[in-house]
Amino acid sequence: MGDFLISSKFTNYQYTIYVHVPDIEQPKEGFSIIYILDGLSYFPLAKQVVKLQSRNTLKTRVEDSIVVGICHQEETMRKRRFYDFTAPSEKYQFPERTKGKLDDLNEFGGAENFSRFLMDELKPLIETKYPVNKNKQTIYGHSLSGYYVLWNFLTKPQSFQTYIAVSPSIWWNNRELFRMLKDTSLDELAPLFIIVGEREGFMVEDAKHFYEEIPSMNKQLFVADDENHASVVPTTLSRAFRFCSEVGLNR
């Protein structure tokens, strides 16, 4: 595993990047790669799942992959997530249940800049350092970063070959993703896996509705029995990464 800092000229922010590279001979075409958003929270677990499951790929159907954790600095993480992972908009509308909870936040709408950081700065750097299969790249996000995954899926569908959105915050800005869905050309959709916990209330219905609206055969929805917003991540990582591998094998 390697780690490094990278300062983005697009977001004017410094990220910590964690990298896990399989300790085996690299495939001729390079390793598949999984980019983990909110890496400070999820990279260690994601790395271990890939390491353990890939020891017996024939049974687990999880292949050896490079895992990249994209991390905000802990002291600024909450505010930066709401900037990096949300789309630009002339105004923002929040549901009544969030009243008072977002009062300390004053910057939203940095998703375009964050995408430029991913595509023009981070990915090229990773690809010079490590043997990456550019045809097998996945982005994984949970909650607000799950919203970003769906936004990226709709607006920049060629950025990654597989999209995984776990408990995505589809509620954001008066459910604007549904409006984007109607205005987006969806001729060449990438594979998409949406995961949500059974105990996530309105987020379950949002996820089901969004899934049903996508005109694609290459999609999956999984509602995890008895799981909540926090527990859904550790209980579904193997299933998520299995989806990545199976999509890759079918190319």
- For helices 144-155 and 172-183, angle between their N-to-C axes, nearest 10 degrees: 20
| Residue matched to tokens 């983990």 | 36
> Would you place residue 12 in the very low, low, confident or very high pLDDT band (cuts 50, 70, 90)?
very high
Most confident residue range from 89-93, 129-133, 215-219? 129-133
Q: Which residue has the tokens 């790669």?
A: 33
pTM of the model: 0.94
Span 15-43, pLDDT tens digits: 999 999 999 999 999 999 999 999 999 99
Both tokens of 100, joined, read 């008072």
Catalytic residue positions? 143, 200, 229
226 near 198, Cβ under 8 Å? yes
Q: What is the pLDDT of residues 189-204, one digit of tens each?
A: 789 999 999 999 999 9
Phi, psi of 143 (to 5 degrees): 65, -120
User: How far is it, in rounded angstroms, from Cα 32 to Cα 54?
Assistant: 12
Write out the residue range of the structural domain in which residue 36 sits. 2-249
Of residues 23, 19, 60, the one with CA closest to residue 43? 19
Total number of domains constituting the chain: 1
CATH of the domain at 134: 3.40.50.1820
